[in-house]
């Protein structure tokens, strides 16, 4: 047997063993979304995402000024569309965020803030396959403006003030049940409601917590 053939066989055997190990691991763990991806998977996925974004898109600069009006628009849009998974503060610590696979990143950290404006824009507009991130863009100028405003707002996430978070809470979408609960909480805290009641199990928009 030639040396080259032996090398090929060894490589094949190692790859097969690796594939079997991964398959066994995947089957033994089931399809639960509770756990976080491994380090290698995260590293590979992030680099593949980086490579999958066209160089031209990566290099795009934000055409909007980071004015108060643009940031306010980004804040409102984020509270309405993004906070349900990412949380108002971008931490991803929401009922949906905690239980997605992969979990949304803490957007206040380098893994997100280190992306270029063009990369953030591309991800919001086109989404990320095999994750919970949808494609929000529709190719219109209006959509692009909203997305660029979001890019400015994402850069501000680490410095959000209490007032801004309170404003976002008021803008988070709520179901009729959540509005009723909010009213019940308001009445209880203001003393209008005579007595405390034990809380119930809720299935509601977790974005409003952040």
Where does this chain bind another protein (CB under 8 A)?
10, 14, 17-18, 21-22, 25, 34-43, 91, 93, 95, 98-99, 162, 165-166, 181, 184-185, 188-191, 195-204, 206, 209-210
130: left (phi over 0), alpha (psi -120 to 50) or beta: left
Q: By C-beta, is 18 or 65 nearer to another protein? A: 18
Residue with tokens 């909007």: 64
Q: By C-beta, is 124 or 160 nearer to another protein? A: 160
Closest CB 72 distance from another protein, rounded Å: 17
Q: Give every CB contact of residue 96 below 8 A, 6+ residues apart in sequence.
A: 84, 85, 132, 206
Closest CB 202 distance from another protein, rounded Å: 6
Which H helix or E strand runs over 75? helix 68-77
Closest CB 22 distance from another protein, rounded Å: 7
Q: By C-beta, is 18 or 54 nearer to another protein? A: 18
State how far the Cα of 207 lies from the Cα of 12, in Å rounded to an integer.
48
CA distances from 178 to 88, 140, 143, 204 (A): 17, 33, 29, 7
Closest CB 149 distance from another protein, rounded Å: 24
Q: By C-beta, is 38 or 134 nearer to another protein? A: 38
Q: By C-beta, is 99 or 143 nearer to another protein? A: 99
Q: By C-beta, is 58 or 167 nearer to another protein? A: 167
Give yes or no for a contact between 84 and 207, defined as CB atoms under 8 angstroms apart: yes
Closest CB 167 distance from another protein, rounded Å: 9
* Residue 138 DSSP symbol: -
Q: Which two tokens stand for residue 117?
A: 């404006």
Q: Give every CB contact of residue 155 below 8 A, 6+ residues apart in sequence.
A: 66, 113
Closest CB 103 distance from another protein, rounded Å: 10
């Amino acid at each position: 047997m030639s040396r080259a053939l032996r090398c090929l066989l060894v490589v094949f055997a190692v790859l097969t063993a690796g594939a079997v190990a991964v398959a066994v691991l995947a089957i033994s763990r089931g399809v639960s979304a509770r756990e976080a991806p491994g380090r290698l998977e995260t590293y590979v996925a992030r680099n593949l995402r980086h490579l999958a974004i066209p160089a031209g898109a990566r290099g795009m600069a934000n055409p909007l000024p980071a004015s108060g009006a643009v940031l306010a628009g980004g804040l409102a849009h984020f509270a309405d569309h993004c906070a349900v998974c990412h949380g108002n503060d971008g931490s991803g610590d929401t009922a949906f965020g905690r239980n997605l696979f992969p979990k949304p990143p803490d957007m206040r950290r380098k893994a997100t803030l280190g992306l270029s404006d063009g990369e953030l824009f591309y991800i919001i507009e086109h989404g990320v396959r095999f994750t919970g991130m949808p494609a929000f863009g529709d190719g219109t100028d209006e959509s692009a403006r909203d997305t660029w405003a979001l890019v400015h707002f994402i850069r501000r996430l680490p410095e959000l003030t209490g007032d801004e978070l309170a404003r976002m809470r008021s803008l988070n979408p709520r179901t009729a049940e959540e509005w009723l609960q909010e009213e019940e909480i308001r009445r209880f805290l203001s003393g209008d409601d005579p007595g405390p009641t034990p809380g119930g199990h809720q299935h509601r928009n977790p974005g409003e917590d952040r």
